[in-house]
């Protein structure tokens, strides 16, 4: 089967759902952020500090194209949809699932998380702003949309499996 790309904002649950889905479907999972780190030997924070967001996006696009397009679950960086070529790549090569969550839920899940360079400072304002700017791009890429707000991991995975 074609790979399943999980997309969504930081804190939308891609990593957690990716692992649970991997067990349910018996498919391995890979993560685009982890691939970027593996390729460069640097953390995402270090890449943002050294090469800026533009440098990171170039590496992210390169890594996306090297991830398997069959029989894998691919969890993606929250901004992977910013590039039209990435949205197109995922649409053409896999099944794209958007994990949606309200800004309130996202803020709750990201409490104390210091690994997100784009959210340094006024986190609340930034989440609302970036999420609303990106929503059209997430919707453009997605084949399936799952609202994760106030749902258990089991419920989300069950819903997702029914809609694949």
- Region of 71-79, 92-100, 137-145, 152-160 interacting with ligand SKM (CB under 6 A): 71-79
Q: Cα–Cα distance between 91 and 144 in angstroms, integer?
A: 11
For ligand SKM, the closer of residues 19 and 116 by Cβ is 116
Pick the binder of ligand SKM from 6, 10, 74, 156 (CB under 6 A).
10
Give, as ranges, the residues between 73 and 102 that touch ligand SKM (CB under 6 A): 77-79
Q: What is the DSSP letter of 147?
A: E
Pick the binder of ligand SKM from 2, 42, 91, 116 (CB under 6 A).
116
121 exposure class (CB count in 10 Å sphere: 0-12, 13-18, 19+): exposed
Q: Is 18 in the site for ligand SKM (CB under 6 A)?
A: no
∠ Cα 126 41 31 (to 5°): 60
Q: If you count DSSP H runs as helices and E runs as strands, how many of each does the chain have, helices first?
A: 7, 5
Rounded least distance, CB 79 to ligand SKM, Å? 3
Pick the binder of ligand SKM from 7, 21, 30, 44 (CB under 6 A).
44
Q: Cα–Cα distance between 153 and 101 in angstroms, integer?
A: 13
Judged by DSSP in three states, 10 sits in coil
For ligand SKM, the closer of residues 4 and 10 by Cβ is 10
User: For binding to ligand SKM (CB under 6 A), which residues are involved?
Assistant: 10, 33, 44, 77-79, 116-118
């Amino acid at each position: 089967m074609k790979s399943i790309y999980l997309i969504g904002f930081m804190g939308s649950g891609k990593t957690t759902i990716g692992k649970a889905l991997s067990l349910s479907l018996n498919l391995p999972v890979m993560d685009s952020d982890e691939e970027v780190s593996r390729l460069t030997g640097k953390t995402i924070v270090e890449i943002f500090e050294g090469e800026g967001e533009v440098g990171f996006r170039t590496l992210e696009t390169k890594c996306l194209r090297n991830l398997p397009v069959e029989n894998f679950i691919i969890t993606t960086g929250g901004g992977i949809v910013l590039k039209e070529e990435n949205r197109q790549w995922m649409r053409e090569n896999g099944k794209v699932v958007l994990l949606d969550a309200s800004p309130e839920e996202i803020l709750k899940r990201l409490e104390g998380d210091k690994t997100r360079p784009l959210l340094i400072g006024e986190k609340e304002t930034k989440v609302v702003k970036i999420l609303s700017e990106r929503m059209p791009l997430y919707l453009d890429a997605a084949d399936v949309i799952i609202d994760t707000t106030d749902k258990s991991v089991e419920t989300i995975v069950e819903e997702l499996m029914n809609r694949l």
